[in-house]
Each structure stands twice: as structure tokens, then as C-alpha cells.
Amino acid sequence: MAKNLYVLYNLGTRGNIRGKAAEGFIRPTIMQFFTQRPVFEEIPKTNELLGYTDDLCEGGAAAQSTTPSSEYAASKAFDNDPLTFQSTIFYMENPWIRYDFGEGNEKRIEKYTLAVSDAPGADNLNMPKDFKIFGSVDGSSWVELDSRTGETFVQGPPREFFMENKNHYRFYRLNSYANNHSGLSKCIQIGEMEMMEAIYG
């Protein structure tokens, strides 16, 4: 289309075309030439980030490295109850917590939140300080998606974390390498963990 317009323009300047040219072809101004030019190139989609979904951790299955008692099961970090929290065994090193979205329910998680429990006995120093997030399609081979060090938490609104992730995974796992205790405690105690997908336009 643009090429045709260009040809018409050239013919017009020579006065060689019939019809309108005979009546006086008006040369388009440069601005008209460009503004009237049809768009012939698809403008690439910008993949603009529009926002994030709500928490998607519903209906899945939680697990963790060790559990002192059912009161502190991994599911307590995904029960939407700020007064409950999961816990791994106090002195066991390198604890982890995992969430399984289920087969056929893979998610491309690019945001997560972590919150200290509001329970009176909750210890914010048992939140993970140095940790990584991994994703997995099968629960056995894991891909590192995010790495954090020196993170601290206080009771109150959840802390938000953002990470780039180009793939859908069924499983997500948080591995803790240290909490904020300097003593014997190696456990993690998370009141609530949420995971969200990014929404692109």
C-alpha cells in the first residue's frame, strides 16, 4: 500500500495520470504522505506488565522438610489464617517448604509474599533470612528462580517479592539456608506464603 502511494505521488508530480491528475493533482505534503501511509508493519507486542493475580495457592498440597507436629504442618503457611504458622524441626538445618499446584495446574509464578504469623507465640526471627525459590515440573529436578540474602520480617502486612520466571511449574519450593536467629534455631516458621502470576498485556 505504501509503495502504491509513493508511485501515485511520483506520477502526480509529472502530471501523467488521468482523472484527478488532469483536474490538478495535489501533491501530498510530507506530513500527509506519512500520516496517510497505511500501517504495513505489525507493531510488536510490548508484553507490558499490567499487574498480578491474586494468591493462587488454593487446592494444592503443601509439604516441608521436617514437621515437629501436625499443629505446625506445611499447610499452615497456606491456610489463609494469619494466626497459624508452619514450623520445621527447631535444630534441623536447611529446611524447605514446598507447594504442589497439582498436575495440569502449572503456574508461572512471578510474585510471592511471606508473612510472619500474627499468633502471640510466633517468632519473626524464625522467618527465612537467606533463601532461594525453586520451580519444578516433576518434583525431582529443580530450577532456581530467586535468591535472597539478609531478609528480615516483622509482624504486619506480608512482604512482597518479585522474580522473573518464563516457565510454568507444578511445584515451587523455598529453601532456607539461615533464619534470623544466630543460635541453635535453624527452622523456618512462616505464617502465610502466597504466590501470584504476572498479567501481561
87 binds Ca ion (CB under 5 A): no
Instruction: By CB under 5 A, name the one of 25, 60, 72, 84 that touches Ca ion.
Output: 84
- Decide if 175 contacts 122 (C-beta within 8 A): no
- Of 25 and 60, the one with the shorter C-beta distance to Ca ion is 60
For residue 71, what are the CA distances in angstroms to 25, 85, 164?
86, 8, 34
SS (H, E, C) 35-104: HCCCCCCCCCCCCCEEEECCCCCCCCEEEECCCCCHHHCHHHHCCCCCCCCCCCCCCCCCCEEEEECCCC
- Of 2 and 118, the one with the shorter C-beta distance to Ca ion is 118
Minimum Å gap between C-beta 76 and Ca ion is 5
- Of 11 and 67, the one with the shorter C-beta distance to Ca ion is 67
- Decide if 153 contacts 192 (C-beta within 8 A): no
80 binds Ca ion (CB under 5 A): yes
Instruction: By CB under 5 A, name the one of 56, 81, 106, 159 that touches Ca ion.
Output: 81
Return the residue nearest Ca ion (CB atom). Answer: 84
- Of 84 and 87, the one with the shorter C-beta distance to Ca ion is 84
- Of 25 and 158, the one with the shorter C-beta distance to Ca ion is 158
Site size toward Ca ion, by CB under 5 A? 8
Exposure string (b/e) for 149-165, b if CB count within 10 Å is 16 or more?
Answer: eebebeeeebeeeebeb
**C-alpha–C-alpha distance, residues 129 and 125, integer Å:** 8
Residues 6+ apart with CB under 8 A from 106: 137, 168, 169, 170
Stretch that binds Ca ion, among 72-80, 130-138, 152-160, 162-170 (CB under 5 A): 72-80
The C-alpha cell that represents 197 in the structure block: 502470576
Minimum Å gap between C-beta 116 and Ca ion is 10
- Of 58 and 138, the one with the shorter C-beta distance to Ca ion is 58
Minimum Å gap between C-beta 148 and Ca ion is 20
118 binds Ca ion (CB under 5 A): no
Which residues contact Ca ion by CB under 5 A? 55, 57, 76, 79-81, 84, 192
